[in-house]
Amino acid sequence: MRIHHINCGTMCPIGGRLLFYRAGLPAAQRRLVCQCLLIETDQHGLVLVDTGFGLGDVQRPHERLAGFFRTANGIRLNESETALRQVERLGHGANDVRHIVLTHLDFDHAGGIEDFPHATVHVCDRELSAALNGRQGFIAKRRYCPQQWDRDVKWQTYQLSGESWFGFTCVRDLRGLPPEILLVGLIGHTLGHCGVAVAKGRGWLVHAGDAYFDAEEMDPDGPRCTVGLRLYQRMMEVDRQARLANQERLRNLRRERDGAIELFCSHDATEFASLQASSPKGRFIRSAAPDDITPAI
Ligand SMILES: [Zn+2]
pTM: 0.92
- Cα of 285 from ligand 1 centre, angstroms: 33
Going from the Cα of 96 to the center of ligand 1, the distance in angstroms, rounded, reads 25
Q: What is the pLDDT of residues 165-180, one digit of tens each?
A: 999 999 988 999 999 9
Type of residue at 186: L
Give the DSSP per-residue string, 42-93: SSS-EEEE---S-HHHHH-HHHHS-HHHHHHTTEE--GGGSHHHHHHHTT--
- Band of residue 280 on the pLDDT scale cut at 50, 70, 90: confident
Q: For the chain, which domains are there?
A: 2-16+29-278 (3.60.15.10)
Whole-number Å distance, alpha carbon 288 to ligand 1 midpoint, is: 39
CA distance 199 to 86: 23
Question: For residues 195 and 184, is the Cβ–Cβ distance under 8 A?
Answer: yes
Cα(240) to centroid(ligand 1), Å: 16
- How far is the centre of ligand 1, averaged over its atoms, from the C-alpha of 290 (Å)? 35
What mean pLDDT do residues 51-66 have? 97
Instruction: Determine the distance separating the centroid of ligand 1 and the alpha carbon of 169, expressed in angstroms.
Output: 21
What average pLDDT score do residues 97-123 get? 98
- Give me ligand 1 centre to Cα 210, in Å: 5
Which residues are within 8 A (CB) of 1 and not within 5 positions of it... i.e. 6 or more apart?
39, 40, 41, 42, 178, 180, 198, 200
